[in-house]
Amino acid sequence: MPPSDATRDNDYLGRLRDYYAEARRIPSHQRIAALMGFASKTAARKLLSRLEVAGFVARTPDDDAWMPTEHFFERPLADFAVRAGAPDMIDGMGGEPFLVDRYLVKQPSRTVMVPVKGDSMIEAGIHEGDIAVVERTKAAKAGDFVIAIVDNEFTLKELILEKGKFVLKPHNPAYPVIRPQGQLEIFGVVTGLARRYSA
């Protein structure tokens, strides 16, 4: 039984997303035809029109090119949670669309992504090479992981209260608690973490 139009378009969309991840642009009609194995640019134009109706792409404001919409970057979110203990049977992978940026970033204009260096937070599950999602507007409170400025350098630690004063606690016994002598300057609060396990 041949695949349906919807199945084929889903496959084409996947190829287009892979291309965009590498090139950071929607390709030309000619390039799309080559990527998808179309016989003509007309088929590429029709595909983009269908993806526009589905909400994945749109015309640029000056109408001279195609651009991805937010919907383009959604990934499928499985409708089950995976156990970290005993294995579960997995019946299917269907689920609601999931946008990583929407999940991790609440205020885009106030959010920066900060690479983590060192191992002072390793027992909190924060490793070198991770990317910390840092919100600069959120008021810091005891128990938050924060990016603080100490001696003109940035450091990621847990903000805790000690004898009525805020100090910075590492999560590695090899590092001491940082007790600033003057006013503690908070750059932002860590609201999330991104980690890649393979190259």
For residues 108 and 110, give the distance between their C-alpha atoms in angstroms, rounded to a whole number: 5
Catalytic, 157? Answer yes
| From 120, 141, 163, 165, active-site residue | 120
Question: Are 99 and 17 spatial neighbours (Cβ–Cβ below 8 Å)?
Answer: no
Per DSSP, the three-state class of 199 is coil
Contact criterion met (CB below 8 Å) for 135 and 109: no
Instruction: Return the closest-CA partner of residue 188 out of 130, 131, 142, 149.
Output: 149
Read off the tokens for 147: 């990016």
Is 141 a known active-site residue?
Answer: no
Cα gap 66→64, rounded to integer Å: 7
Annotated catalytic residue: which of 157, 163, 165, 169?
157
Residues annotated catalytic, as ranges? 120, 157
